[in-house]
Structure 1
Amino acid sequence: MSLDHRLDPELEELRRTVEEFAHDVVAPKIGDYYERHEFPYDIIREMGRMGLFGLPFPEEYGGMGGDYLALGLALEELARVDSSVAITLEAAVSLGAMPIHLFGTEEQKRTWLPKLCSGEMLGAFGLTEPGAGSDAGGTRTTARLDPDTDEWVINGSKCFITNSGTDITGLVTVTAVTGTRDNGRPEISAIIVPSGTPGFTVAAPYSKVGWNASDTRELSFDEVRVPSANLLGERGRGYAQFLRILDEGRIAIAALGTGLAQGCVDESVKYAKERHAFGRPIGVNQAIQFKLADMELKAHTSRLAWRDAASRLVHGEPFKKEAALAKLYSSTIAVDNAREATQIHGGYGFMNEYPVARMWRDSKILEIGEGTSEVQRMLIARELGLPVA
């Protein structure tokens, strides 16, 4: 494969378009939404009109005919300004629509994908439970098939589910135990649950440290009934399907983390030029210059890592290790850069009116969501051929 990560004209035009949108539309508004813990519906509608929610999907389903590289470029540019908006797009595409695209029947695709691609509707994926996060195999939510009605009957709960309770959320795909395998392990399947289904309850939004303009909820299922045709993919393959979704999603999160890290550089360079101390800009001080040089180095390296993983995915090459490497590195340096940006800004970095305060609050979750840093290290070690305990 080529090691040339320069963008072709079409992708560069996309990147530039999203960059302008982030600075001209998102930046002036998002701080107020963030402080109010309010979902930015007007921004999301504009992103839908731009086609961002359909970037990696075929045109026949209302998509833009792009790929994960295109999605990553959009996520990086959005996250340079704000992560709440970026994670809304990431979750809607990677977790909401992508499972239906990859594993759905033709009828499921034609039913759901057009609205998901347009941003008219958001989808979510319910995997995490109070007792099953990194250990997704510990799922306790159950689904039994009622032979009399040919319906799945779902009981259980999910937590930390992004995009699950907005006014435009249309579905949540839920992993549930649907039986027991011959080896005694649970059989886990994925089932589409439309919003508003009786017995499906969406809790109030969480009070979060960061990502305050995004939607995150706890879900509960009490004798929730959906048609058997709502099974997504093959019965018993739900866990394997989600592992595939996570592998791809890590590239998207790596792009988002890269954007946050680069945004910290952007804001800190600007501040270092404007802020004067002892009669001169603080940017002339070598201590500040060295911090910024290291921050730029980390963001640049992170960008190469996620683009390499995305390129491997696009070209049909193995990418599991590269996705884990990119996700681990980008999340680590996002936290590093956010901390250093706050330090450069001094007391102002602790004030919410400055973007770096938002970036500092938003960065830590990147080391946890879509596979913790510890899980990434386990995956990398396995890909290196080390023995599994």
Structure 2
Amino acid sequence: MDFQLTEEQLMIRQAARDFAQQECLSGVIERDETQTFPKEQVSKLADLGFMGMMVSPDYGGAGLDTISYVLAMEEVSKIDASVSVCMSVNNSLVCWGLERFASEEQKHKYLTPLAQGKKDGELYIGAFLLSEPEAGSDATSQRTTAIDNGDHYVLNGIKNWITNGNSASVYLVIAQTDIAKGSKGINAFIVEKNWPGVTVGAKENKLGIRGSDTHSISFTDVKVPKENRIGEDGFGFVFAMKTLSGGRIGIASQALGIASGAYELALNYSKQRKAFGKEIMHHQAIQFKLADMATKIEASRLLCLKAAWEKDQHIDYTLSSSIAKVFASETAMWTTTEAVQIHGGYGYVKEYHVERLMRDAKITQIYEGTSEVQRIVISRSILK
């Protein structure tokens, strides 16, 4: 196994690092406080080609590998996880699912502008609608229905915790068509936000990633053309599970970036802050914290890269992505908490950034499959 990054991958990482430092750092605290969606930053990500990184150039994408995506996600997440989650959803849950399973007509109509992140000069991104008030970890319990009505489906129901909920132009909606068939009666649909009957609820007031556009979306007798169903009838549950496996690589990379950002801040602070007559980096209690941070972050990085490599090699990466997500997300939560501790009282103050990173870290243990769900996936694999 070659651990050396290619010249192109190194360039992508540096470009993402420069973007995060130059475009995201300024104003990140204010965006968090005011819950402002980072439209300008996401638009600039689109200009860089980072909103459709892994999509073929045939459909407007950058044609990069998953490893490059992991590297870019880490760098952006170090500074602003609200920006990186928009990038993750559009790349992993929307563009990948469409490129892999959509028809050619659907790809040209929807995937091409989504991969570019722009349409007619305006921001054009997607959202993935699976979770419901009573269907989170249990994705088979869909209450949203799509009733076959000849040349179209009639969509009714509510989806919640939707990232990019108000900013997206296109929704990938998972809905139940035939409840008697269970998971085999579930379908996936491409729904446009501006269609009659689509309503965006109030923005959620969240603990972390507060700039991220998280809303509930309701559907009332929405007519969805038959040509907007993804795949064959009953393919929706498989579509959702396969798409989420790739999405977990993105969230694992986000968690890695949050942890890395907190570690770098704590490391720099330890070299400046003095206690008992010397910089706190000279105290063994701090040294051990930093050593453990570095170790867990490096392990998380390798797990993310392994899952990404398997995806690029067309190897089944379901297990690897779950391992990467559960480990990286728990590393993020632990590392950010320790970073606050190293900063002491200053860690509790917004201007030092680590308290925000700690709040942002928590969601990585929850969305796109909780840590408990990841352990179910892992245990099923190892107990075959």
Shift of 1:181: 4.9
The answer to whether the Cα contact below 8 Å between 1:5 and 1:307 also exists between their aligned partners in 2 is: no
| Alpha-carbon separation, structure 2, partners of 1:164 and 1:213 | 12
Q: How does 1:271-350 map to 2 (within 5 A)?
A: 271-350=269-348
In 2: Cα distance, 1:193 partner to 1:347 partner: 48
- Greater shift, 111-120 or 198-207, is seen at 111-120
Give runs of aligned pairs for residues 1-389 of structure 1, distance below 5 A: 3-120=1-118, 121-147=124-150, 150-166=151-167, 169-181=168-180, 187-386=185-384
Cα RMSD for the two superposed structures: 1.2
Alignment length (residue pairs): 379
Aligned residues with identical type, % of pairs: 39
- Structure 1 stretches of 4+ with a deviation exceeding 3 A read none
Q: Is the 8 A contact 2:262 2:336 kept in 1?
A: yes
Residue pair 2:293, 2:335 contacting (<8 A) in 1 also: yes
Aligned 8 A contact 1:68 1:252 in 2: no
* Letter of the 1:319 counterpart: Y
Deviations 1:279-330 (A, max 9, x none): 3211111111110010010000100001011101101112111111111100
Q: For 1:322 and 1:186, how far apart are their aligned partners in 2?
A: 26
Q: Output the CA distance in 2 between the equivalents of 1:210 and 1:234.
A: 38
Distance change in 2, residues 1:10/1:199 (3 Å): same
**How much has 1:180 moved relative to structure 2?**
4.0
Given residue 133 of structure 1, which amino acid in structure 2 is its aligned partner?
G
What is the rounded CA distance, in whole Å, between the counterparts of 1:331 and 1:70 in structure 2?
A: 20
User: How much has 1:274 moved relative to structure 2?
Assistant: 1.4
Instruction: Work out the CA distance in 1 between the residues paired with 2:235 and 2:290.
Output: 46
Q: Mark the runs of 5 or more structure 2 residues left unpaired by the alignment.
A: 119-123
Do 1:31 and 1:353's aligned partners in 2 also have CA atoms closer than 8 Å? yes
Q: Is the 8 A contact 1:57 1:67 kept in 2?
A: no
After TM superposition, give the deviation of residue 264 of structure 1 in Å: 1.1
CA distance in 2, matches of 1:301, 1:37: 32
| C-alpha distance in structure 1 between counterparts of 2:152 and 2:317, whole Å | 37
Determine the C-alpha separation between the residues in 2 that align with 1:331 and 1:5. Answer: 23
> How many angstroms apart in 2 are the aligned matches of 1:361 and 1:205?
18
For 2:340, give the aligned amino acid.
T
* 8 Å contact kept, 2:322–2:378: yes
SS of the equivalent of 1:94 reads helix
Counterpart AA for 1:205? K
Once residues 185 and 100 of structure 1 are traced to their aligned partners in structure 2, the CA distance between those partners, rounded to angstroms, is 20
Q: 1:195-231 deviations in whole A, cap 9, x for unaligned?
A: 1111110011100000011111001111111211110
SS at match of 2:328: helix
Describe the superposition over 1:355-388 as per-residue Cα deviations: whole angstroms up to 9, x where unpaired: 11110001111111111111111111111134xx
Q: Secondary structure at the match of 2:140?
A: helix
State the alpha-carbon separation in 1 of the partners of residues 352 and 232 from structure 2: 48
Distance in 2 of aligned mates of 1:372 and 1:164: 20
Aligned to 2:121: none
Asked if the contact 1:193–1:230 (Cα under 8 Å) also holds between the matched residues in 2, the reply is yes
Native 8 Å contact 1:137 1:239 kept in 2: yes
Q: Alpha-carbon deviation of 1:185?
A: 5.8
SS at match of 1:370: coil
Distance in 1, matches of 2:153 and 2:196, equals 13
Gapped runs of 5+ residues in structure 1?
none
Q: Residue type of the partner of 1:50?
A: L
Question: Under a length normalisation based on structure 1, what TM-score does the superposition of the two structures give?
Answer: 0.95
Find the residue that maps to 1:193 and give its secondary structure: strand
Q: Secondary structure in 2 aligned to 1:54?
A: coil
SS of the residue corresponding to residue 222 of structure 1 reads strand
Shift of residue 186 of structure 1? 5.9
What is the CA–CA distance in structure 2 between the aligned matches of 1:63 and 1:305, rounded to whole Å?
26
Q: Any idea what SS the aligned residue of 1:272 has?
A: helix
Q: Secondary structure at the match of 1:173?
A: strand
Kept in 1, the 8 Å contact 2:38–2:82? The answer is: no
Q: Is the 8 A contact 1:5 1:304 kept in 2?
A: no
- Larger CA deviation: 90-99 vs 358-367: 90-99
Distance 1:304 1:353 in 2: 31
